[in-house]
Structure 1
Amino acid sequence: MGACRLDAGGICGGCLRSSTEIAQWPRLGDAARRQMMDTVLAGRTRDRYRFLGALQERHALRAVLHPLQRPPAGHGWNRSELDDLLPPSPLAEAAVLVGLVPRAGAGTQVLLTLRTDTLRQHGGQVSFPGGRIEPADAGALAAALRESHEEIALDARQVAPLGYLDPFLTSSGFRVTPVVAAVDPDYVPRPDPGEVADVFEVPLDYLMAAEHLRQVHIHYAGRPRSVLEYDWPGRRIWGATAAILYNLRRRLEEGA
C-alpha cells in the first residue's frame, strides 16, 4: 500500500499484516476485513504490545481515529484560519506522535517535549515528537516513529499505533498528520540535546477537559486570529500542539 514496512518476521510494524495479507486487503469485503482485524490482527497486537491492554481508552480511540490502513487526506481542518498565510508552493508533509502512556495508579498520560531554544522553527515551544516526512519514510507513521526515536530515543517496539487524527496546517508551511499511539510505560527517554530540552507528561484527562483549554485572541498579519492554549505548571502548551489535542477531544466527544 506504499505505507507498510516489513520487519524481520515479515510483518508490518504499523498495521501488523504480512505481505500476503497486505496484497489481499484491497480485494477483501468489509466483513472479511473486520474478521481479520478482530481475530488475526488483534492477536498479533496483544502479543507484540502487551502494554496496550493497560490503555483504558484504546477502544474509544480506535472507534474515532482514521485507521492505520487509510491515512487521512484533505487540506487540514484549520485551513480557513491560514489561507492568507500559507506559501504558494505545495506544503511540506510532516508527522507527529501523540503518545499516550498508561501509568498504573495515575491514568493515561500524554507524552510531550520541550524544544530547545536554538531551533530555527518553534524553538522553546512544547510539542509532540515528530518532524518532516522524508523521502525514505514509508508514510506518516514511519516518519513519526523515526523522529520519535531520533528526538527522545523511543524505540518503535515500545509504540503501539492506534490511528490518525485529522491533518493540521501550520503557518510555517507544513501539513501535519498526527499519529495516536500507546507508549510502553517502561520507556526511558533520552532526549537529543540539539532538539529537545525536556520530556514530560500531562494527564490525558486534564487535556481532554474543556475548561482547561482557552482561546487567546491576537492580531497577526493584518487580521484578528485566535490561538488555543493550555496552562500547565511550568509549561505553556499552545499553538499546533494545543490544536491537535483539541482535535482529539472533539473526535472523542462526537464519536466520529
Structure 2
Amino acid sequence: MITCMTFEKILPQLIKLTADVGKVIMSFYKADMAVEMKLNKTPLTIADQRAHQLIVEGLNHLTPNVAILSEESDTATFEQRSKWQEYWLVDPLDGTQDFLEQTGEFCICIAYIKNHQAIFGLVYAPLTQTHYYGFNNKAYKQHNNIQTPLNACSATLPLRVVIGHNSTHNSKLQTHLQQLGKHQLNHLGSALKFCQIAEGVYDYYPRFGPCCEWDTAAGACILQNAGGSVHDENGTPLRYNTKNDLLSPTFFASGIH
C-alpha cells in the first residue's frame, strides 16, 4: 500500500525515471521508424514500446508488489482488474500522433489509482524537460530543478478553451463551444492540456471524443490537486477501473473547482 509519505519518498526516483525515459523517447524523435496501427486505429512505435518497458521495470523496482496497467501492456481482464484496490496507470507516450508529426506536444503519464480514484499524478514533457505532479492537495511544475506551485483558481474573459488537434470536427464539441459564448479556442496535444490549465495558461478543456483512462488520470489528478476540477456530464469526478472497458467518459476540465 502506498501513502502520501511514500509518494514524497519516491518522487525523486519517479522524476529521474521519467527524465531518463524521456531521453530515450527523444532519441527516436524526428527519426525514421516503423509505425503500426493498433486495433483502436492509434499508432504504435518503438518509442512507445521502449518507454513502456523502461517505465514498467522502474515501477516494479520502486513498488514491487503493486500492479501496473499500461497502454502498451497486455490488458488484464476486468475480472482480474476488479480485484485491484490500487495500481499504477501508465501511458508511456501520450500523444504518439503528435510525436510522429513533430509538434513536441507529447508526454509521459503516470498515475496511481486507489479505490477507483487517482491519488497521484505525474506528467513529463520530454521536449521541454518539464515535470508536472500533484498529490495530497498540492501540485507543482518542475523545470531546470526549480519547483513552482500550481494554483488553477482563476478564469479569464473571454474564456481560454483548449482542445486537441483532432477534436475540431466533433459535432458534440462544436455544439458545446457554440453554447459557451465568446471564447478563445486553442489547440494542444496530449495530457499537457490538463497541465497548462493547472498552471493558468488555459481555463477550460471539454472532451467529447474517445480517450482512455491512461490518457486522463495523471493530468486530471494534477489539475484537481492544483485547485481545478475534472468531472463527467453528471458533474461527478472521474473514477477508474469500474467497468469492462477502459474508456473515459465525456468530461470537462476546468481551472475553477
TM normalised by structure 1 equals 0.32
Higher relative contact order structure (alpha carbons within 8 Å, sequence separation ≥ 6): 1
TM normalised by structure 2 equals 0.32
Look at both structures and tell me which one has the larger radius of gyration over its CA atoms: 1
